[in-house]
Structure 1
């Protein structure tokens, strides 16, 4: 005979536990979940269901894997904050699908992203024609970020040139510039050590530069 009171109590406890786990792991909108975040969410849900469906089983063996997953996520979160390379390995990199109005079919094939997917996401942003798009970037969450031609002209897109002290060669190529040009521009502004720059972006001829551990 089922002990309904035990099922209710376990459900309430596991609900509170999962809520606490997600609060500890950090807040993210559903559309911003990475692949790993999504997998962990599914696993936690499955573990909770198993614990509720078996009220006679000890609770600790069901709770322990959930706590282990939480610790793994916290550790991964810490490492991705510290290392750009590790962040790219875990979360992947954003991919330019449309660059200056030209579709990169190789990039689409690499991510198994077809024209139906592209048109569907463009329609979701009230864009009916690909020719209206200047840039489209497929984010690591699967979201498509779009810059329309009529809103900004070529060259006005904010381009990240340095991330965590590492020059982004692909970004330099997108604005038809070189590593030497970037270093020259930085030296003119008094920045000689690339590794000390946390973030550097370029937009419409203007640089935004933020140093690592810079005190405000």
Structure 2
């Protein structure tokens, strides 16, 4: 069976099938998407400098996907990426604002901290409900310097891990 496909064609592998002038368009898209991401980071504030909440992790995945699609695919215009970046960021900020005003929304979105060990006793129900194993708990306790479970007054699983 004959095909037009030529394996290991270096022009196709390195530069793609688009005309060479498309590389300039990709460069322009990089600058625009970078500026949009910079705007999003400014809108989010300093929270990006500490551990991310589950909502912020979800936001980072969405932003990366939207930015990457616009950069990689010639059929995805920048306006789509811009709408997604601004839209997802706005929705995240709205949900975080609602979380600040409503405990129910906050508990649903971010959940609550959970005590896994109290006075050296492991709460197996808490481990099970948080889908954490004893092995993971003990590994984290060792990282934090505990030599035995009896040394642990409290081990609390926080929202950020």
Higher relative contact order (CA 8 A, sep 6+): 2
Unpaired stretches in structure 2, ≥5 consecutive residues: 1-18
Question: Paired residue for 1:10?
Answer: 29
TM-score, structure 2 as length reference: 0.81
Unpaired stretches in structure 1, ≥5 consecutive residues: 143-216
Instruction: Provide the rounded CA distance (Å) in 1 between the counterparts of 2:108 and 2:75.
Output: 41
Query: 1:106 and 2:125 equivalent?
Result: yes
Q: Cα offset for 1:47?
A: 0.9
Q: How many residues align?
A: 142
Candidates 76, 86, 89, aligned match of 1:70 = 89
Instruction: Provide the rounded CA distance (Å) in 1 between the counterparts of 2:153 and 2:82.
Output: 49
Question: Paired residue for 1:137?
Answer: 156
Question: Paired residue for 2:105?
Answer: 86
Distance 1:60 1:74, change over 3 A: same
Candidates 145, 148, 151, aligned match of 1:126 = 145
CA contact (8 A) 1:25 1:74 kept: yes
Give secondary structure in 2 for the equivalent of 1:112: coil
Structure with greater proportional helix content: 2
Query: 1:37 and 2:56 equivalent?
Result: yes
Instruction: Provide the rounded CA distance (Å) in 1 between the counterparts of 2:129 and 2:76.
Output: 46
Question: Paired residue for 1:46?
Answer: 65
Distance 1:104 1:29, change over 3 A: farther
